[in-house]
């Protein structure tokens, strides 16, 4: 294929993987990569780990060198937002009004961090999604030991709490759920993580934020949820002093991280005919959202053919794999439209994988953990918290998690749930893999 244009909207891991795959699979026409951040594509997982902790600098985050990107012959539009998509003509509109007529479009716009009312413009209150977010939070944590409140006890909140504690700060981790990461890993594994955080000196609380207290030029202020005018105050004029919970608890704070989840980046698709944007961009099993329009990464909600239901996976490995799958299937569709030779489209059926680093613990998981009706947790070594857990639903094993296991054993565990297997069969595989 040598004519026309494909636009990849989103220049992070999924978008870059899609662009590379398009070239690798034979697209030699124009290839536009649009990214709303000014940076070359960079890796996000280290933002809450190595970068935040100071082990890495920003120049280590790049996914490719300038020379490698040049070799792709990209029409690279960084610091540019896409504002609309006409699905009938496959036309992408960029801010400023430029329109790109495309043969195909891959949407890889990721997610944005959720925040809380009263947080915008309040000095010391942060979210963590972009490089700028991470550098701003790191600047706060690089100072002398202070009072850090992390709102949200999911993966990001737990990782950040661990880094802040290791940097010598007094840390309080607040979540709606009583157990950290419970929605993802279940209560038993969550309790193991809770014990590790407590042992390291982190204070764990269950609660919901009601608002923030702050100072402005030495005068105490209070910003409650829904208070008029709080988000319009110019940044830097107020500094957080405390987080207030709905039960009346007051948590003094110098720095606050709001880690309460994300919002899929589909706002620019409002009004695009035929698209399902109820939770990310809805796609079929081939990652197609509409004819000639595909999606990949955190923004994509696609029908997983093995699990038989829609999934939206916000994990780094999935971003790369889905970017490649979307590229392959888009090119197959374009070849069919042109009545040219091409590969057939393939359903995207990965085994989901995620990892998390907290203190010296490395968590790795395959498959689906959330929504399990049966969980079997085996603590192999209580002192080091070396653990394996099997997750299942309706008599089938659906996921497995390991803490502190060597890579060889972790890879072997994947085989137990690569396809849904009877619980007892998968349980026997897990036991055999971790024996000794």
**Domain shared by 107 and 125, yes or no:** no
Q: Could you please report the per-residue DSSP string of 116-151?
A: -TT-TTEETEE--SSHHHHHHHHHHHTSSS-EEEEE
Q: What are phi and psi of 189, to 5 degrees?
A: -65, -40
**Domain shared by 183 and 273, yes or no:** no
Closest to 323 measured CA to CA, from 352, 353, 300: 300
**Domain shared by 99 and 208, yes or no:** no
**Domain shared by 84 and 59, yes or no:** yes
Question: Domain for residue 353, yes or no?
Answer: no
* Alpha helix stretches (DSSP H) within 25-130: 50-53, 66-70
Q: Which domain holds residue 93?
A: 5-112+262-337
Provide the pLDDT for residue 218.
Answer: 47
Q: What are 261's strand-pairing partners?
A: none
Closest to 160 measured CA to CA, from 361, 20, 430, 358: 358
3 state DSSP class of 245: strand
**Domain shared by 152 and 108, yes or no:** no
**Domain shared by 329 and 368, yes or no:** no
3 state DSSP class of 5: strand
CATH number at residue 252: 3.50.50.60
User: Residue 187 is encoded by which pair of tokens?
Assistant: 């209560």
Longest dimension (CA), the chain: 71
- Where does a domain end: 224, 239, 258? 258
Question: Domain for residue 408, yes or no?
Answer: yes
Provide the pLDDT for residue 269.
Answer: 98
Question: Domain for residue 172, yes or no?
Answer: yes
Provide the pLDDT for residue 407.
Answer: 87
pTM of the entire structure?
0.93
**Domain shared by 157 and 76, yes or no:** no
Question: Domain for residue 332, yes or no?
Answer: yes
Q: Long-range contacts for 381-387 (Cβ within 8 Å, ≥24 apart)? A: 385/192, 385/195, 385/196, 385/361, 387/189, 387/192
**Domain shared by 104 and 123, yes or no:** no
Question: Domain for residue 376, yes or no?
Answer: yes
CB atoms closer than 10 angstroms to residue 184: 18
Question: Domain for residue 352, yes or no?
Answer: no
**Domain shared by 185 and 139, yes or no:** yes
Q: What is the pLDDT along the chain (436 residues), one digit of tens a residue?
A: 556 999 999 999 999 999 999 999 999 999 999 999 999 999 999 999 999 999 999 999 999 999 999 999 999 999 999 999 999 999 999 999 999 999 999 999 999 999 999 999 999 999 999 999 999 999 999 988 899 999 999 999 999 999 999 999 999 999 999 999 999 999 999 999 999 999 999 999 999 999 999 998 445 555 544 333 333 334 456 999 999 999 999 999 999 999 999 999 999 999 999 999 999 999 999 999 999 999 999 999 999 999 999 999 999 999 999 999 999 999 999 999 988 888 899 999 999 999 999 998 999 999 999 989 999 999 999 899 999 999 999 999 999 999 999 988 998 899 889 988 899 999 999 999 998 6
Please state, in angstroms and rounded to a whole number, the distance separating the CA atoms of residues 31 and 307.
33
Question: Domain for residue 347, yes or no?
Answer: no
- The number of distinct structural domains making up the chain is 3
Question: Inter-axis angle of helices 187-199 and 155-166, to 10 degrees?
Answer: 20
Please state, in angstroms and rounded to a whole number, the distance separating the CA atoms of residues 73 and 39.
17
- Where does a domain end: 241, 258, 275? 258
3 state DSSP class of 203: strand
Please state, in angstroms and rounded to a whole number, the distance separating the CA atoms of residues 139 and 132.
11
Question: Domain for residue 270, yes or no?
Answer: yes
């Amino acid at each position: 294929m040598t004519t026309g244009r494909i636009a990849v909207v989103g220049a992070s891991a999924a978008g870059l993987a899609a662009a590379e795959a398009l070239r690798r699979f034979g697209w030699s026409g124009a290839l536009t990569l649009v990214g709303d951040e000014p940076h070359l594509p960079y890796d996000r997982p280290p933002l809450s780990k190595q970068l935040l902790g100071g082990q890495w600098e920003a120049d280590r985050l790049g996914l490719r060198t300038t020379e490698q990107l040049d070799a792709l012959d990209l029409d690279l539009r960084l610091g540019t937002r896409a504002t609309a998509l006409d699905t009938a003509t496959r036309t992408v509109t960029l801010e400023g009004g430029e329109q790109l007529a495309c043969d195909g479009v891959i949407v890889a716009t990721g997610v944005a961090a959720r925040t809380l009312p009263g947080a915008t413009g309040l000095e010391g209150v942060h979210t963590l999604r972009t490089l700028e977010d991470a550098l701003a939070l790191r600047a706060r944590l690089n100072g002398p030991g202070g009072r850090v409140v992390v709102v949200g006890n999911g993966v990001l909140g737990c990782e950040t709490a661990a880094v802040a504690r290791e940097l010598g700060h007094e840390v309080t981790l607040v979540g709606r759920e009583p157990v950290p990461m419970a929605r993802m890993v279940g209560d038993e594994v969550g309790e193991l993580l809770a014990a590790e955080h407590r042992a390291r000196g982190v204070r764990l609380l269950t609660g919901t934020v009601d608002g923030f207290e702050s100072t402005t030029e030495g005068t105490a202020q209070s910003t409650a949820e829904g208070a008029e005018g709080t988000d319009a105050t110019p940044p830097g004029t107020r500094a957080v002093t405390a987080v207030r919970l709905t039960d009346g608890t007051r948590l003094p704070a110098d720095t606050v991280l709001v880690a309460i989840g994300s919002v899929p980046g589909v706002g620019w698709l409002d009004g695009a005919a035929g698209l399902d944007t109820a939770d990310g961009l809805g796609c079929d099993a081939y990652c197609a959202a509409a004819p000639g329009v595909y999606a990949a990464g955190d923004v994509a909600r696609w029908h997983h053919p093995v699990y038989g239901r829609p999934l939206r996976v916000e994990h780094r490995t999935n971003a790369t794999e889905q970017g490649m799958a979307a590229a392959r299937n888009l090119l197959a569709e374009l070849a069919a439209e042109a009545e040219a030779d091409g590969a057939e489209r393939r359903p995207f059926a990965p085994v989901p994988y995620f990892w998390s680093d907290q203190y010296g613990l490395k968590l790795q998981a395959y498959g689906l953990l959330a929504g399990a009706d049966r969980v079997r947790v085996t603590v192999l070594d209580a002192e080091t918290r070396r653990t394996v857990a099997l997750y299942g639903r309706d008599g089938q094993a659906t996921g497995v998690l390991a803490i502190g296991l060597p890579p060889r054993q972790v890879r072997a565990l994947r085989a137990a749930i690569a396809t849904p297997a009877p619980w007892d069969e998968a349980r026997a595989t897990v036991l055999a893999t971790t024996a000794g």
